[in-house]
């Protein structure tokens, strides 16, 4: 039993020795292979390290260039931003000025509109007055036209009336009848009309002005001529119609505003 056990131990020892020897050999080969791989790996690492160093240098240069470019870009951007801000400020000031000017114009426009409305209202009132006066003038022109026709007939009767007046005066003188002292009449020429020729004076029935009364026409203390009253206005006791009897100067016509008196 001991012998068998011893044999087994010897066999195991032999086997283990062989295995150990083989392991030593394999280990040696593995170490050589591994050393070769490590050497190749180190060379590759050294190569990569050299390449990485070049890349790092290039990266540093790029960073420096990038920093310089960023600085230049910042300076350009700051300059552009400053210029843009100045331009914006100028435009904002211009807009403010335009807005203020617009407000002023709107205020002035509102004021002008109010003035225009007031003037338009006043103009409407004046237009109404003018229309009324136009109607009055038209009515008076109609009356004057009618009176003009009457004046034409008066002229036809003038010679007869004059002859009768002369006859009456002669009879008074021949019969030595006292004539009433002349009454003083003073007035003004209001209007002058043509075709037929006659004028209107501002004295009449109210002043007891007789038809046929001759009045002198005076302007600036100068004698212009004579007119004769032809008719008294019944609707207006202060007006009467007259015709020109004579003129000192045929070119010096009677004018509105001239004084008439006896």
Query: Does the structure show a pLDDT above 50 at 179?
Result: no
- Tens-place pLDDT, residues 99-115: 898 888 888 888 888 88
Task: Please give the domain boundaries of the chain with CATH numbers for all domains.
Answer: 180-261 (2.40.10.170)
**pLDDT range class, residue 18, cuts 50, 70, 90:** low
Say how far apart CA 106 and CA 59 lie, in whole Å: 66
DSSP conformation letters of 112-143: HHHHHHHHHHHHHHHHHHHHHHHHHHHHHHHH
Q: What is the mean pLDDT of residues 13-40?
A: 75
Q: Tell me: the pLDDT tens digits for 203-233?
A: 999 899 999 999 999 999 999 999 999 999 8
Across the range 4-14, mean pLDDT stands at: 76
Angstrom CA distances, 55 to 48, 70, 116, stand at 10, 21, 86
pLDDT exceeds 90 at position 251: no
Query: pTM for this structure?
Result: 0.34
From residue 18, alpha-carbon distances to 7, 8, 9, 25 in Å are 16, 15, 14, 11
SS3 content of the chain, % helix, strand, coil (to 5): 65, 15, 20
The CA distance from 214 to 262, in Å, is 7
- Position 151 confidence tier, pLDDT thresholds 50, 70, 90: low
Tokens 């009253």 locate to 229
């Amino acid at each position: 039993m001991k012998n068998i056990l011893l044999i087994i131990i010897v066999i195991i020892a032999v086997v283990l020795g062989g295995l150990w020897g083989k392991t030593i050999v394999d280990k040696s080969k593995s170490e050589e292979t591994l050393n070769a791989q490590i050497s190749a790996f180190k060379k590759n690492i050294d190569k990569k390290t050299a390449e990485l160093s070049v890349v790092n240098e290039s990266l540093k240069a790029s960073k420096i260039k990038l920093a310089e470019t960023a600085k230049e870009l910042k300076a350009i951007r700051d300059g552009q931003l400053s210029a843009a801000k100045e331009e914006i400020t100028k435009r904002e000031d211009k807009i403010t000025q335009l807005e203020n000017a617009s407000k002023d114009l709107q205020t002035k426009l509102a004021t002008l509109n109010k003035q225009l409305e007031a003037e338009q209202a006043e103009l409407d009132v004046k237009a109404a007055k003018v229309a009324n006066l136009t109607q009055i003038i038209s009515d008076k022109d109609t009356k004057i036209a009618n009176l003009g026709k009457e004046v034409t007939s008066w002229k036809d009767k003038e010679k007869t009336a004059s002859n009768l007046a002369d006859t009456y005066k002669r009879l008074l003188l021949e019969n030595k009848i006292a004539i009433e002292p002349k009454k003083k009449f003073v007035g003004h020429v209001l209007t002058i009309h043509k075709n037929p020729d006659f004028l209107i004076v501002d004295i009449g029935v109210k002043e007891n002005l007789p038809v046929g009364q001759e009045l002198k026409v005076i302007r600036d203390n100068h004698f212009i001529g004579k007119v004769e009253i032809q008719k008294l206005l019944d609707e207006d006791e202060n007006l009467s119609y007259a015709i020109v009897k004579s003129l000192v100067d045929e070119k010096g016509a009677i004018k509105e505003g001239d004084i008439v008196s006896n």
